[in-house]
Structure 1
Amino acid sequence: MSQKHEARSAGGDRLDLQADCGSCFGLCCVALPFAASADFAVDKPAGKPCTNLQADFSCGIHARLRDKGFSGCTVFDCFGAGQKVSQVTFGGTDWRSAPGTARQMFDVFPVMRQLHELLWYLAEALELPAARPVHKDLRRALDETDRLTRGSADALAEVDVAAVRQDVNALLLRTSELVRATVPGRKKNHRGADLIGARLRGADLRGANLRGAYLIAADLKGADLRTADLIGVDFRDANLSGADLTGSIFLTQAQLNAAKGDASAKLPEALSRPAHWR
């Protein structure tokens, strides 16, 4: 669904955590369900190939997804889980040539996707100098999570993702506190807040805690989001035109893809400007 982005992170630790659709067996187009809505033109159950999936596992309407009513596809990001399952877990054998593997492959993909998302956050945290006091614990968590992603399909199916997420989240919270503490003064706390449609044009949100906030269709034109914690923020249709997101933490490509923006918005180096931002 998303093409591989250029890796621009300083250490390159997140290179393998970016989607490489050419090395994947179209797993997001088969394993995942979607319902007819503003994001998807039709209904599709889990395990059934999308009608736009080609024989070579490419998308037949990739360049026209938004025009064809599949904007949800342009938002999704597997964090590189698709190619890991395809090339590592199943050793390059696809579900079409080995139909007996299909069910297990599709079941394992969402597990891998969640683990890769955690790896993305952990790798980012290790790039932050302010988080140095917890770098040792972050590295240990990253190594353990990475080890889980390299297990067999049977082992992956048994992973307690909720428990792994809970342990990692404690470290990410501490990372957030350390990073945001570098911003002087009192910081805004909008964790989990309902800010749907909020008028935040030009708002000073430096160092803010916005974890899990709902910013759907919010006006954030020209807002200063430097060093803000944006993990889990719902940016669907939020306007980020001219906003400064440099130095924000735990922002993902999928969040940007769900938002609106323009060429003047400032983004973290590891992320790409979405094609639909005109």
Structure 2
Amino acid sequence: MLDLTDLRADCSRCTGLCCVAPAFARSADFAFAKPAGTPCGHLQEDARCGVHAELRPRGMVGCTVFDCFGAGQALSARADWRAGDSVTVFAAFPQLRTLHELLRHLREARGLADGDLGEDLGTAIGRTEELAALGPAELVALDVEAHRRAVNPLLVAVSEAVRGDGPDHRGADLIGARLRGADLRRASLRGALLLGADLRGADLRGADVTGADLRGARLEGADLRDVLFLVPPQLTAARGDGTTRLPSGFDRPQHWTASDPARTSRPRSRTGRRSHRR
């Protein structure tokens, strides 16, 4: 059985899969382009990043917001791309990453549910763990998206049970929205686009942020305690500081700024945007 430590990246036990398998284009997130299956120029012989402590100033922001959820070390323990079928290993990597992220959500949901729903979640966890234990070739052949669609209703059911009559902003276009001090308690923000949104001082307690895009969102002074289905890359992609209140078990991203209480003192506001279900 996988525990939460198995669902966290441990680069010391990985063969640098995230530095080789994906492709990236030169952009605001990457200082240079790299084709899929080609090692990044910063990857060292020991499979560690040579500029890990300087990724942001070197223009490699995209690397800092990526999390394999432990898929890197798990797959590296089964096959070494440097001494075998690298094509298959590279193709299996995103498949396993998806399963590990799903397991993270399912385990969180299981801790919030009981009765028949809790039993169904236990079954879903067991099946997902079975799939996550497959070999590289079997992972490549697996329809991971079909499995995600099959278990997603369980996650939605838990979200609705926990949030009650919270507002529904699923899939809402909130790019750059002025949400400073907004009351978003128990809101559904599943799949919402919050790029560059001003959420300073907003109350997000109990909100469901599954798949919400928080790139560049301002979270200084925001209250994220008890947020549902948050993953570390969402925080890393956002902007926050010492006044941002985080859920238990989450570390404050190192690039976040120091506290500035003056920036979080404005009154609450409403979203002012139309919500869209997805």
In structure 2, how many angstroms separate the alpha carbons of the residues matched to 1:225 and 1:132?
Answer: 24
In structure 2, how many angstroms separate the alpha carbons of the residues matched to 1:15 and 1:132?
Answer: 24
DSSP 3-state at the match of 1:270: coil
1:34 aligned partner: 24
1:151 aligned partner: 134
Q: Give the partner amino acid of 2:81.
A: W
2:114 aligned partner: 132
Q: How does 1:177-188 map to 2 (within 5 A)?
A: 177-181=160-164, 186-188=165-167
1:271 aligned partner: 250
Q: CA RMSD in A?
A: 1.1
The answer as to 2:181 corresponding to 1:202 is yes
Q: Give the partner amino acid of 2:235.
A: L
The answer as to 2:102 corresponding to 1:112 is no
In structure 1, how many angstroms separate the alpha carbons of the residues matched to 2:170 and 2:97?
Answer: 24
Q: Give the partner amino acid of 2:18.
A: C
2:81 corresponds, among 95, 120, 137, to 95
Shift of 1:135: 1.2
Give percent identity, aligned residues only: 56
2:65 aligned partner: 75
Q: What are the Cα deviations for residues 35-93 of structure 1, in whole angstroms up to 9, with x where unaligned?
A: 11100011111100000000000001000000000001000001100001001x32xxx
In structure 1, how many angstroms separate the alpha carbons of the residues matched to 2:144 and 2:134?
Answer: 14
DSSP 3-state at the match of 1:19: coil
Give the 4+ runs in structure 1 shifted more than 2 A.
none
1:167 aligned partner: 150
DSSP 3-state at the match of 2:187: coil
Shift of 1:95: 2.3
Q: Which deviates more, 205-214 or 154-163?
A: 154-163
Shift of 1:139: 1.0
Q: What are the Cα deviations for residues 140-179 of structure 1, in whole angstroms up to 9, with x where unaligned?
A: 1111111111112221111111111101211100010011
Shift of 1:188: 1.8
Q: Are the equivalent residues in 1 in contact too, given 2:186–2:208 (CA < 8 A)?
A: yes
DSSP 3-state at the match of 1:230: coil
2:268 aligned partner: none
In structure 1, how many angstroms separate the alpha carbons of the residues matched to 2:256 and 2:151?
Answer: 32
- Structure 2: runs of 5 or more not aligned: 258-278
1:191 corresponds, among 170, 177, 199, to 170
Q: Give the partner amino acid of 1:273.
A: R
1:214 aligned partner: 193
In structure 1, how many angstroms separate the alpha carbons of the residues matched to 2:19 and 2:101?
Answer: 19
Shift of 1:101: 2.1
Q: What are the Cα deviations for residues 216-264 of structure 1, in whole angstroms up to 9, with x where unaligned?
A: 0000001110110000000000001111111010010000000000011
DSSP 3-state at the match of 2:85: helix
Number of equivalent positions: 255
1:44 corresponds, among 28, 34, 46, to 34
2:267 aligned partner: none
Q: Give the partner amino acid of 1:116.
A: H
Q: Are the equivalent residues in 1 in contact too, given 2:81–2:90 (CA < 8 A)?
A: no
2:159 aligned partner: 176
1:141 aligned partner: 124
- Structure 1: runs of 5 or more not aligned: 1-11
1:16 aligned partner: 6
Q: Give the partner amino acid of 2:114.
A: R
1:6 aligned partner: none
